[in-house]
Amino acid sequence: MDFSFTDEQKAVAELAAKILSDHAAGDRLKKVEASREGFDAEVWKAFAEAGLLGAALPEDCGGSGGGFVDACLLLEQQGRRVVSIPLLSTIVCGAMPIARFGTKAQKDRWLPGAIAGKTILAAALSEQGCDERDPATKATAAGAGFRLDGTKMAVPFARSAAAILVPARLPSGGTGVFLVERDAPGLSIEGQESTNWEPDALVRLDGVSVGADALLGEKGREGEVLPWILDRATTGLCAIATGACQEAMRITAEYASNRKQFDKPIAMFQAVGQRMADCFIENEAVGLTMWQAATLLDEGVPAEKQVAVAKYWASEGGSFIGHAGLHIHGGISIDVDYPIHRYFLWLKQVEFSLGAATPQLARLGSLIAAEA
Rounded Cα–Cα distance for residues 265 and 182 (Å) = 54
Q: How confident is the model at residue 115 (pLDDT cuts 50, 70, 90)?
A: very high
**Amino acid identity, position 194:** S
pLDDT tens digit sequence for 51-88: 999 999 999 999 999 999 999 999 999 999 999 999 99
The structure's pTM equals 0.96
Strand 145-152 and strand 200-210: the pairing is antiparallel
Rounded Cα–Cα distance for residues 4 and 9 (Å) = 10
Is residue 1 predicted with pLDDT exceeding 70? no
* Phi, psi dihedral angles at 64 (to 5 degrees): -95, 0
What's the whole-number average pLDDT of the chain? 95
Is residue 110 predicted with pLDDT exceeding 90? yes
Smallest Cα–Cα separation from 228: which of 109, 127, 123? Answer: 123
Q: Say whether domain 123-223 belongs to CATH 2.40.110.10.
A: yes
* Confidence at residue 337, expressed as pLDDT on a 0 to 100 scale: 80
What size, in residues, is the chain?
Answer: 372
The DSSP code sequence of 245-296 is HHHHHHHHHHHHHH-EETTEEGGGSHHHHHHHHHHHHHHHHHHHHHHHHHHH
* Confidence at residue 277, expressed as pLDDT on a 0 to 100 scale: 96
* Phi, psi dihedral angles at 352 (to 5 degrees): -100, 5
* Centroid of chain to Cα 98: 17
Domain boundaries along the sequence of the chain: 7-118, 123-223, 224-371
* Confidence at residue 216, expressed as pLDDT on a 0 to 100 scale: 97
Strand 121-123 and strand 175-181: the pairing is unpaired
What is the third-level CATH fold of 224-371?
Answer: Butyryl-CoA Dehydrogenase, subunit A; domain 3 (1.20.140)
Q: How confident is the model at residue 335 (pLDDT cuts 50, 70, 90)?
A: confident
* Confidence at residue 25, expressed as pLDDT on a 0 to 100 scale: 85
pLDDT tens digit sequence for 126-155: 999 989 999 999 999 999 999 999 999 999
C-alpha torsion sign, points 229, 356, 162, 73: negative
Smallest Cα–Cα separation from 137: which of 193, 207, 222? Answer: 207
* Confidence at residue 37, expressed as pLDDT on a 0 to 100 scale: 87
Least confident piece of the model among 97-101, 248-252, 282-286, 334-338:
334-338
* Confidence at residue 146, expressed as pLDDT on a 0 to 100 scale: 97
Is residue 106 predicted with pLDDT exceeding 70? yes
Is residue 332 predicted with pLDDT exceeding 90? no
Arithmetic mean of pLDDT, 201-217: 97
Is residue 215 predicted with pLDDT exceeding 90? yes
* Phi, psi dihedral angles at 177 (to 5 degrees): -120, 125
Helix (H) or strand (E) holding 10: helix 7-21
Smallest Cα–Cα separation from 69: which of 297, 347, 252, 262? Answer: 297
Helix (H) or strand (E) holding 361: helix 357-371
**For residue 21, how many other CB atoms are within 10 A of its CB?**
13
DSSP-assigned beta bridge partners for residue 148: 139, 208
Is residue 2 predicted with pLDDT exceeding 80? no
Smallest Cα–Cα separation from 182: which of 97, 122, 102? Answer: 122
Tell me the Cα Rg of the chain. Answer: 21
Q: How confident is the model at residue 190 (pLDDT cuts 50, 70, 90)?
A: very high
The two domains 7-118 and 224-371 share their CATH topology (first three levels equal): no
CATH classification (class only), 7-118:
mainly alpha
Arithmetic mean of pLDDT, 112-138: 96
Is residue 334 predicted with pLDDT exceeding 90? no
* Centroid of chain to Cα 61: 22
